[in-house]
Amino acid sequence: MPSALAEAEATAGAAPSHAVSGRPGRRAERGFALLAIAPAALLVLCLMLVPMAGALGISFFKTDGVTASFVGLANYAQLLSDPLVGAVLLVNLQFLIAVPLVLTAATLVAVLLYEKVLGWRAFRIIFFIPSVLSTAVIGLMFKSTFAFDGPINKLVIAAGGAPVSFFSTPTLAIAVIILALVWSGFGYGALIVLAGLSAIEPQIYEAAELDGAGWWQKLFHITLPQIRRVLLFVSVINVIYTFTSLFGFVYVMTAGGPGYSTTTLDYLIYQKAFSSADMGSGSALAILVFLLIGVLTVLQALVSRERRPSNG
């Protein structure tokens, strides 16, 4: 009996029609189901799965899109020994500085929003505005703000200093892009942290208050430990962003320069493929970046799976 019950439960979760299998409409339903999934499946097959297989295939060739010659793993070997790829990876790693900054700003804002101060709903929406804007728009805003004759340098001059050329100094250019990343990303992070805070059971706070715990004690001994998995989740998605979402910023702000000092992996793929007509090498690099992101994504999946039970 118990095994039959388990089986019934398993099939009930899968499809309601299993319960009435054998009725004449079943064949028709299967046919309809296949028709229903066909448009989505065909689009993904033709424009995602086939191209992904294509990218893998192209990565074994030397090609400019017109002629092609098979070179085996040579593209990969070349990339892995190319000092430029190593330098660009280091540039990407420098952008990771944005992750703890986003996390700190998001947590601060979320903890304050959670106090339900006057107008917290409006604040929540205001902080989210940058998250709905294109990275190109945000990038151009920061570019003109930090331009040589821009508002920041006007302030510098007014304060008696000499104007700073932000985008021709590698460390400053990276700093401006990091600032843009934090500005655009903390509101989204704050929403997620806020959702995590709402899942903390109020009894825990009540017990702590009975013990005479103050605001700061509650923050460090209850709130932050309780949402550590949410914080980990926000960190991981922001790490993934630094490998996948910098293209817009780099494209409009620095075009990868000065030199290659702000060229990120995603911008290098774009450059390789469409500026130097080296699609084989570009595809190989795309595959390598994909593997890197794949590892990070598996990590994220593990983190969010662990997070769910505690979220109820």
Please list every residue from 56 through 115 that binds another protein, using CB under 8 A: 58, 65, 105, 108-109, 112-113, 115
Rounded Cα–Cα distance for residues 177 and 167 (Å): 10
Partners of 63 in the β-ladder: 68
Distance of CA 262 to the CA centre of its chain: 19
Q: Is there binding between residue 274 and another protein (CB under 8 A)?
A: yes
The one segment of 82-90, 202-210, 219-227, 283-291 that binds another protein by CB under 8 A: 283-291
Binding to another protein by CB under 8 A, coded x per residue (else -) over 161-200, reads: ----------------------x---xx--xx--x-----
207 vs 277, beta carbon nearer another protein? 277
141 sits near another protein (criterion: CB under 8 A): yes
Task: Assess contact for 236 and 296: CB atoms under 8 A.
Answer: yes
Report the residue from 21, 69, 81, 275 that binds another protein according to the rule CB under 8 A: 21
Residue 91: count of CB within 10 angstroms of its CB: 22
Q: How many whole angstroms separate alpha carbon 293 and alpha carbon 273?
A: 20
| Binding residue (CB under 8 A) for another protein from 126, 207, 219, 224 | 126
Rounded Cα distance between 243 and 2, Å, is: 49
- Where are the alpha helices (H) located in 82-201, listed in sequence order? 83-94, 98-114, 120-132, 135-145, 151-158, 170-198
CB of 16 or CB of 83, closer to another protein? 16
In the complex, least distance from residue 293 CB atom to another protein, rounded to whole angstroms = 6
Q: Which amino acid is at 102?
A: V
Q: Tell me whether residue 155 is exposed, middle or buried, using C-beta atoms within 10 angstroms of its C-beta: 0 to 12, 13 to 18, 19 or more.
A: exposed
Site for another protein in 209-238 (CB under 8 A): 233
User: Considering the rule CB under 8 A, would residue 208 count as an interface residue with another protein?
Assistant: no
Q: What residues between 22 and 51 interact with another protein by CB under 8 A?
A: 26, 28-30, 32-34, 36-37, 39-41, 43-44, 46-51
Q: Which is nearer to another protein, 32 or 161 (CB)?
A: 32
CA distance 40 to 147: 45
- Nearest distance from residue 86's CB to another protein, in Å? 19
Angle at 279 between CA 278 and CA 285, to 5 degrees: 100
Q: Which is nearer to another protein, 76 or 247 (CB)?
A: 247
**Count of residues near another protein by CB under 8 A:** 95
Burial level of 31, CB count in 10 A (0-12/13-18/19+)?
A: exposed
Residue closer to another protein, measured from CB, 37 or 80? 37
Q: Which stretch binds another protein (CB under 8 A): 72-80, 83-91, 219-227, 251-259?
A: 251-259
